[in-house]
Amino acid sequence: MTQRTRQGAVAFVAVLLTAATGCAGGAGGPDTPPERQDPGSPAAPSAAPGGASARTGFTLVASGDVLPHDSIIQKAAADANGQGYDFRPMLSGVKSVVSGADLAICHMETVYGAEGGPYTGYPAFKSPPEIAPALKETGYDSCSTASNHTLDDGAAGLVRTLDALDKAGVKHAGSARTAEEAARPTLLKAGDATVAQLAYTYDTNGYPMPEGKPWAVNLIDEGKIVADARAARRAGADVVVVSIHWGTEWQTAPDDRQLTLARSLTASQTAGRPDIDLILGTHAHVPQAYEKVNGTWVIYGMGDQIAGAMINHAGAHDPRGNQSSLGRFTFTPPKTPGARWEVARAEFLPQWFDTGRGRVVDLNAAIEKGEPLTAVRDTIRDVVLERGAAKDGLVMGE
């Protein structure tokens, strides 16, 4: 990943510490659509026991589903002016937030087609591989690749996707080309921490695992997730982040499975230390709540960061399908040996995909410039906070 340093908020966090601080789209399927401030800074160093050199904290930013429907592919072609596909303009509105973090994580919902196409949207996605370098240029360091669309083009699509991400310099978690890759946690550097990203999906839309490759895509299994988290710790991870593709489409409230799994995963500990430090949810197409569960932050669903105009299961255009949030968490080093890295500041930033312009919009920045988007922002805010996260310190970032 690209190490980033932001002056400015370092002092802010130092003060904080001192104070003790599915996927539908395309042409109308039965269950889905035709298409359907300044970033916080690294935490101030904390002195290590025995006078050892101080360790530096970090900020982590995460965003929701990148879901290129046919209209998105067409827009990227138009933005490239006849020279392939250019997804960078779509993401330019959040580049300052994403690139301003020490570690930035996305969710790559779809697989990539071969160079030159053909490319398709819903129901079996094959996206232009030019998305990968656009993600890198926006500032993303790693993406989860486990979703219900990971096997839309079989093993070949999976391999093309991971190859393209590798070529662009974007790490990935959740799908694998070899058994060895599947068994190896994705490790990322941020500040003085080693961060593991693990990723899982509820299903692959009925597509079976490629023959002889039962490890190709990580499916949700509580025992496996916990075992993988513990293995990541043994591999050197200071912080373990779980990206999880789950939930009920078009439902803003987390479903029973989300709630149950969140409780059990955050309760899992080894030697008194939680096995998982952050859970990042995707899939539902709409923003869902943030909640601190057993002392660990859970985002049930961030919504779609990029998607075409979304049609819900009732067959109606649903603007919520283009609303999302971006989570930003400032981690500080442990105060005592063997303790966890703590989240000193938890933030959400409301986003919106403007399908007319084909752009991701940072809503706070747009409203500050006078765009009439306050109602959209407030809708997202209300959902994000509906399970009481504000009382645990979650705030809307800028």
pLDDT in tens, 276-287: 999 999 999 999
**Residue 36 belongs to domain spanning:** 9-396
Say yes or no to pLDDT of 26 above 90.
no
Integer Rg of the chain from CA: 20
φ/ψ of residue 383, rounded to 5: -70, -45
**DSSP-based three-state secondary structure for 245:** strand
d(CA 3, CA 58): 10
Q: What is the pLDDT of residues 152-185, one digit of tens each?
A: 999 999 999 999 999 999 999 999 999 999 999 9
Which pLDDT does position 55 carry in this prediction?
Answer: 83
Q: Counting beta carbons within 10 angstroms of the beta carbon of residue 294, is it exposed (0 to 12), middle (13 to 18) or buried (19 or more)?
A: middle
Please report whether residue 42 resides in a domain. Answer: yes
Are 293 and 299 in contact by the 8 Å Cβ rule? The answer is: no
Which pLDDT does position 93 carry in this prediction?
Answer: 98
CA atoms within 13 A on the CB side of 334: 13
Which pLDDT does position 131 carry in this prediction?
Answer: 98
Q: Kind of pairing, strands 323-332 and 171-173?
A: unpaired
Strand partners, 287: none
Which pLDDT does position 15 carry in this prediction?
Answer: 33
- Could you tell me the pTM of the whole model? 0.88
d(CA 343, CA 43): 10
Say yes or no to pLDDT of 188 above 70.
yes
Looking at residue 245, which CATH number applies to its domain? 3.60.21
Percentage of the residues of the chain whose pLDDT score is greater than 90: 85
Residue identified by tokens 């909640």 is 291
d(CA 306, CA 64): 8
Please report whether residue 62 resides in a domain. Answer: yes
Q: Give, in order, the Cα–Cα distances in Å from 334 to each of 48, 124, 154, 341.
A: 9, 45, 43, 5
The whole-chain average pLDDT of the chain stands at 89
Please report whether residue 3 resides in a domain. Answer: no
Q: How many domains does the chain have?
A: 1
Q: What is the pLDDT of residues 265-276, one digit of tens each?
A: 999 999 999 999
The single-letter code of the amino acid at 262 is A
Q: What is the pLDDT of residues 126-159, one digit of tens each?
A: 999 999 999 999 999 999 999 999 999 999 999 9
Q: Kind of pairing, strands 269-270 and 193-201?
A: unpaired
Please report whether residue 226 resides in a domain. Answer: yes
Please report whether residue 1 resides in a domain. Answer: no
Angle at 93 between CA 398 and CA 32, to 5 degrees: 105
Q: What is the pLDDT of residues 44-73, one digit of tens each?
A: 333 344 333 478 999 999 999 999 999 999
Please report whether residue 189 resides in a domain. Answer: yes
Give start and end residues of each alpha helix (H) in the chain. Answer: 9-18, 70-79, 88-91, 95-99, 131-138, 154-168, 179-183, 222-234, 256-267, 363-368, 374-384
Please report whether residue 4 resides in a domain. Answer: no
Please report, to the nearest 10 degrees, the dihedral formed by the alpha carbons of residues 159, 277, 336, 44 taken in order. Answer: 80
